[in-house]
Amino acid sequence: MPGFELFGEQERKQVNDVLENGVLMRYGFDGMRNGHWKAKELEAELENTFQSKHVQLVSSGTAAVSVALASAGIGAGDEVIMPTFTFVASFEAIMLLGAIPVLVDVDDTLGLNPQAIEKAITPKTKAIMVVQMCGSMANMNAIQQIAKKHNLLVVEDACQAIGGTYNNKPLGSIGDLGCFSFDFVKTITCGEGGAVVTNNKEYYINADHYSDHGHDHIGNDRGAETHPFLGYNFRISELHAAVGLAQVKRLPEFLEIQRRYLNIFKETLSKIPEVTLRTVPEGGEESGAFFNFFLPDLETVRKVMQAFKNQGIDACWNYFDNNWHYIRKWDHLKQQKSLFPISKEVKEGLKYLETKTFEMSDHYIGRNISCLIKLSWTEEAVKTRANNMAEIIKTVL
């Protein structure tokens, strides 16, 4: 991760196909295309990759979450349970629909804590949004049992975990709906783009229409298409899809590199008694996009992070003080800072954030160090890096 590090002839060829026929829009202009439909081709490839019946490409991972929720009828006043550790897009996508994000604790998987989900369920709860952060997964069996018990939708955000699996099923294909991002720093990139994945035909049709102004996409005359319901513009372009089409065909190559490097980091740092590896649920296999581990306390983590910086170890983060990925710094959400008036339902629904604390999340996020695994590294460089990290940690301890 990320796939742009290995751009080559495959990506250039796919993009040149689009530039040569001149059709950058994914819909219409059939006569000009010379048979090139990059978005459709990418959707077919992703159906195979995700072992799912339906894939709808959209403009971003954020759009994918909003489109997925909307396609299942989630909207004004509905509560969607989500983790405290994710990307800000998670609550943005929920609030875009007038729904209420209900944040709950994560555990040592760095994913949703099942017990915290149970405690957060109310009569307004309509969905559980699981975010598979940093290449791995939450305890999906337990979460699915809770969802079944309470008749809740499971929306699986696997934007950072493409290629990971749980009980031999691709992450993103396990819930009722899955969401992916193909932005510039993802394992496979379109530059910008995303996808909604589902086995539910109704949800797929809704996502297809909703993401393109409500167009029903029936027939060959775009101007004659009807609009069964309101929609918006969350379309991907042919140029973006072309890059993704080349990248998805290289996913096995990328995963082999990531997992090989991940194992080097695990084998090297796990020899330190004070280092605890992130918990991967039984039956799970990480994508290898990140290496995650815990140290005894936040103070030690901060000292190690400073030592990493001093010694030139980049691409490692402690998310406790991070503006993008953890609840502690989301003051704009807590204070409901918005350019437009927030609905009464959402205002009331977010009041809990004025006093709510997340001790369990603080415990795990404060002690965690997450390291990006770059595809452009050599194996020798990874071994050197892992050994240097181990020596720095031992020195600090």
Name the nearest CA neighbour of 244 among 284, 184, 203.
Answer: 184
**Rounded to the nearest 5°, which phi and psi values hold at 326?**
-140, 145
Q: Both ends of the chain: CA-CA distance in Å? A: 30
Q: Are 180 and 60 in contact (CB under 8 A)?
A: no
Closest by Cα among 291, 246, 294, 298 to 274:
294
| Residue 371 to residue 290: CA distance in whole angstroms | 5
How far, in Å, CA of 294 to CA of 108, rounded? 9
In angstroms, the CA 248 to CA 186 distance is 11
Longest pairwise C-alpha distance within the chain: 70
Calpha distance 131→294 (Å, rounded) = 19
Place of tokens 């406790």: 320
- Contact yes or no for 367/294 (Cβ under 8 A): yes
Handedness of CA 12, 13, 15, 20 (dihedral sign): positive
Q: Of 186, 334, 344, 374, which is the active-site residue?
A: 186
* Strands 165-166 and 169-170, sheet pairing: antiparallel
Is 186 noted as a catalytic residue in this protein?
yes
Q: How far apart are CA 9 and CA 7, in angstroms?
A: 7
Token look-up 């991940």 returns 262
Q: Which residues lie across from 130 on neighbouring strands?
A: 156
CB 245 within 8 A of CB 42: yes
How long a stretch of residues is the chain? 397
Residue with tokens 């909307």: 70
Q: Assess contact for 368 and 296: CB atoms under 8 A.
A: no
Q: Which residues are catalytic?
A: 186
